[in-house]
Each structure stands twice: as C-alpha cells, then as structure tokens.
Structure 1
C-alpha cells in the first residue's frame, strides 16, 4: 500500500463495488460516492440522480463531508448524521454548524460504545466559533504536530482566554503581524504566568532555569514559524470546505518541501536549533563557583546562564547581551 497507484486502484474498486451493492440490496436508499474514481471531480449516485453540484477537487474526505452535508440541507433534509471517528471532522462540523439549519449529529465510537454528538448544541463564544478550526490546526491535527508536552486539554484553556490571537491565521496571505500574534499565543501556552510575547525569550528563560536538552526546550523562532505556516495552510483548506473547487495555495513553501520523488515533508526550521559550539555544552552545579571544585573555574572558563549559579553570585560570571527577534 506504499505505492500511490495501488491505493488509487483499491479506492476505485471499493467505490465501484459499493455502487453495485447499493443498487442490488438497497434500491430505495441513495448512495452517493465521490473522490474514489480516476477523475478526481467525479461523483456518482446509485439512483442516477443529478449530483453535479457535488463535483469537487477536494483531496481530503474530511472536507468533502462538509460539502455533502451542505448539499443535503439545501435539498431539504432537516437532520444530518455523519458517521466518523475523526476529531478533524468534528472540528469542521462545529465550525460550519452555524451556517446550516436543522440538526447536525456525529456518530462516533465503536459498536460496543456507540454515541451521538449533537453538534448543533455545542455552544462557543463568537471568537472561539470563528477560530475553532485555526486552534485545532495550530495545536495539532492530522497534518500539523502538537506542541510538545501540551495536549488539547491544556491548550484549550489558553484558547478560551486568548483565542483572538488566532483571528487572522488561515485567512488571506500570512503576514509577519499574524505570525507574531500566533507566536504570542504559543508564549501563553508555554509560559502562562509571564507576559512574554517572544518565543526566543521563553526559550532562553527555560535554558536559564536548567533545561539543557534540545527536545525539552521550546521551539526556536524559525522552527515555530514553519509550524505556523503549516497550520495556516491547513486552516485555509478547512475554511474552503464548502467550496466545490477551491483555490488553495501549494503547500510547498508553506512549511512543506518536496523531495526528488515528489513526496512532501515538513520543513522543520530554516536555522540550526543551536549554534554548533553549543552542541556539547556542559554546565556547572555550584552555588557561587568560589573554589576549584567548580568545573568551569578549574578550566578557567566563565559560567553561562544555564549553570546552577545562574551568574547571580558567581565568581566567574559570563555576561552577554542576548539578541532576540523583537529587537
């Protein structure tokens, strides 16, 4: 199944078989199939109905669900049930529920624990309703990673208080002001007790407090910027879920790059996470570095911010002006 051709052939086979089975066993029930044929825009009905309005170029089944739900409401259906166990779909349904009338349900869970979510009854503030898709994209979805050590439960609290910081993401061209606004949102996630707005400052404070391993440090500014670009692109796709043939910018250059085999990979960062001279860094664990027991003093080196002494009462302090992106 690693070969795209095999996946395409299997999808076409299943689509054709489902249509045949529906005509035989459920002639009174209409089955509409899309996205599984050689032609990406092809859509078929088991009853031969005119479903031209459902022709679309959507790559994701998640967004096609919204398109089909909208068409069903326009045809007069007052209750729509979407059977799915995907969180991305629930977020999409929540965002578009306000644009649809009637009841919108999501059937989820397994056979033993089946449950129905009344999407039409989900109550959010106007800001949260407007940015729910953006929030889900930037804090982790199928195509964008989540902030290390922070799941939906903790980031949701930040979203409730600072959701307006995500207002412009996924809408229009990604500007530097939008990136800085989302950067501040991440500062609220990583350092809720501070008023920092620059992720580099948050990263440096963690380093000062003794966090030396790269995987435990907060992302660098350049790394976060690529993450924001991926979330922006994904949000753009979701915002156009109700448009049959949407105009979507290429993901290449939006936090993604293409290799020689034309496969997409996330562009992690434009810079190295640390200067090369810092890769083998060693920190002392002294209180004031007054004796030769201090590993830095013994080697006639000056202590750094990550040392336990924190340069405060150190006899061998190292002072340097830290340049941040805000300067």
Structure 2
C-alpha cells in the first residue's frame, strides 16, 4: 500500500477522493458475544463446527436428533437411497420399518421401557423371526453381553456381538459361547451381575465378577439361586438366605457359615482385628437395603 501512489496512481486517486459509491465503513467477520453461534466462532474469523460436551451428552438433544433423523428418512428422497435395504429405527416408544417404497410402524416392536439394552434384544429376536440368517448386536457393553447370553436361546439364528475399538474390532460368537457355558450358567448371569454390582448397586470391594462367575460355574445350587433372582422381581426370605451363603463363599471358599454377620465376625477374629472394613463382607442390614425387601414367602 505504501507504493500505491507510484504503481497505481488511478487507484490511489479513487481511495483519496472516493468513487461513484463511496462508503464510510468496511464490514469484517468478527465475534459477536452471546450469539447462537458463539461456540463456533473465534475472534478474527471462524473455525470448524463444534459442540460443547454438555450439548452432546444432553438426553433431550439426543432425542431431538433421533426425531429429526426419523423425519428425514421417512421422506421419499432419502428412502430412495436404501435401494434393497431395510431400515428399522426406534424413536421413543415406537419402531419404524422404512424401505425404498414405504414406511410403517411395527406394532410388535413397540416398547415402554427406558432401558435401551433390553430393546436391542427385542429387535434381535424380531430379526430372527423375520428370517435373517444371523444377527449382529453392536455394543461395547458388558450389560448387553449378559443379556445376549441370557436370551440367546430365544433367538433362533446365530447371534454375534460387535465390540472393541475403532482400530480393533471383535466379533463375539454368542451362540458358541452359550454352548460352552451351558444353559444353566447363562440363565444365572443376569442375577449374578445385578447382585455383584451394576449401575444401581455397589460391587463387593476386592471381589470381582470373575471370581463370582467361577463360583457359580462350580455350583449347580448357586446357578439355580441366581436364575431365580434374575427372573423374579421379588426376593423371598429363603432366597435371601441363599444369597448370604453365596456371599460367604465369595469371601472365603472354606467358610462353613451361611450367615454374613457371622462370617464378618469370624474373619475379623481370624485376623485379630487387623482388617479394613472393606475387606469384610457387608453386614446383613446393608445387604437387605441393597436388595429388594425380602418377603416372608
């Protein structure tokens, strides 16, 4: 610009005196505080589109995104891209079956539970009933694996779970895994998983699920106990006593007592009191508060 007068005098004259349409300001891209697009802008320019983590994790935003995608896939323009594929998409309580030619709600896949994991199993069973040669459940989640094991017998085709990372994908053959474990163990895993620690229940300190699983695999008695726990919404006093016996064995295999309060006392005395409370099994009152209230039946 310092050589503008020498190199381009005619342009310099325009700058100095103005043209036919002189202007008094030059608009530039700048950041305006408290705007809708504030998170996508930076001073002096713009950057790539981004969302705050809280916005991504918002349940309301996820639900709105699903509604938007469902509405778009129902349009002829997007349906045409399916060619010979079929799309099943769930939105709130309903499930839609979308093909190139039409879309319709599937009455047998309507669901009123909030938990998405169990809904996966319902869709897997429906796919098997529709005649698909195999079903792949994509979820890197232990809850889903246990549900697949428990309900594999109700799915009439080979069942696989796709898990792992982006660069290391694994396919678990659920059908073969069930055959190796046996029906009794598969029927017990849901009750075992819930009792030994899940989303709503604390785990036993220092006692992992693998130890609990090995104990169940060695005992047909405990397999039946956890089958009943997993299939029933109620906890009888008799079943609660059997769970206490399992807890005692979980801490010491040679334990003869089946009462967890007695087991706590024996372990404490055996170590002359040199134990942290986390190294002892829970007392009966803690176990009662963690489980459904035992009935007298």
Question: Hey, what does 1:152 align to over in structure 2?
Answer: 209
Are 1:19 and 1:46, in contact at CA under 8 Å, matched by a contact in 2? no
Deviations 1:240-276 (A, max 9, x none): xxxxxxxxxxxxx79xxxxxxxxxxxxxxxxxxxxxx
Question: Hey, what does 2:63 align to over in structure 1?
Answer: 11
Deviations 1:305-327 (A, max 9, x none): xxxxxxxxxxxxxxxxxxxxxxx
1:218 to 281, 288, 293: 281
Question: Hey, what does 1:239 align to over in structure 2?
Answer: none
Shift of 1:172: 4.9
Matched, 1:118 2:173: yes
Deviations 1:77-119 (A, max 9, x none): 1200111100110110111111222210101001211010000
Q: Distance in 2 between matches of 1:168 and 1:64?
A: 22
> Given the superposition, is the C-alpha separation of residues 152 and 212 from structure 1 closer, same or farther in structure 2, using an over 3 Å criterion?
closer
Question: Hey, what does 2:186 align to over in structure 1?
Answer: 129
Q: Look at both structures and tell me which one has the larger radius of gyration over its CA atoms.
A: 2
SS of the equivalent of 2:166 reads coil
Question: Hey, what does 1:99 align to over in structure 2?
Answer: 154
Taking the TM superposition and a 5 Å limit, the aligned residue runs for 1:201-216 are 201-208=262-269, 209=271, 210-216=273-279
> Given the superposition, is the C-alpha separation of residues 194 and 111 from structure 1 closer, same or farther in structure 2, using an over 3 Å criterion?
same
Are 1:19 and 1:33, in contact at CA under 8 Å, matched by a contact in 2? no
Question: Normalising by structure 1, what TM-score?
Answer: 0.63
Deviations 1:202-252 (A, max 9, x none): 1112221224533333211011122233xxxxxxxxxxxxxxxxxxxxxxx
Question: Bigger relative contact order, structure 1 or 2, given CA contacts below 8 A and separation 6+?
Answer: 1
Question: Hey, what does 2:254 align to over in structure 1?
Answer: 193
Question: Hey, what does 1:32 align to over in structure 2?
Answer: 88
Question: Hey, what does 1:286 align to over in structure 2?
Answer: none
Question: Hey, what does 1:140 align to over in structure 2?
Answer: 197
* Structure that is richer in helix per residue: 2
Taking the TM superposition and a 5 Å limit, the aligned residue runs for 1:222-301 are 222-229=285-292
Question: Normalising by structure 2, what TM-score?
Answer: 0.69
Q: How many residues were matched structurally?
A: 226
Q: Distance in 1 between matches of 2:120 and 2:291?
A: 26
Shift of 1:19: 5.8
Moved more, 81-90 or 158-167: 158-167
Matched, 1:44 2:96: yes
Shift of 1:49: 3.5
Q: Distance in 2 between matches of 1:108 and 1:18?
A: 26
Moved more, 13-22 or 167-176: 13-22
Moved more, 17-26 or 195-204: 17-26
Are 2:95 and 2:105, in contact at CA under 8 Å, matched by a contact in 1? no
Q: Distance in 2 between matches of 1:96 and 1:124?
A: 14
Are 1:127 and 1:164, in contact at CA under 8 Å, matched by a contact in 2? yes
Are 2:163 and 2:171, in contact at CA under 8 Å, matched by a contact in 1? yes
Question: Hey, what does 1:303 align to over in structure 2?
Answer: none
Deviations 1:30-60 (A, max 9, x none): 32222x4xxx422223330441211111211
Q: Distance in 2 between matches of 1:56 and 1:165?
A: 29
Give structure 2 stretches of 5+ with no counterpart.
1-52
**Pairwise CA RMSD of aligned residues?**
2.5
Q: Distance in 2 between matches of 1:174 and 1:32?
A: 37
SS of the equivalent of 2:136 reads strand
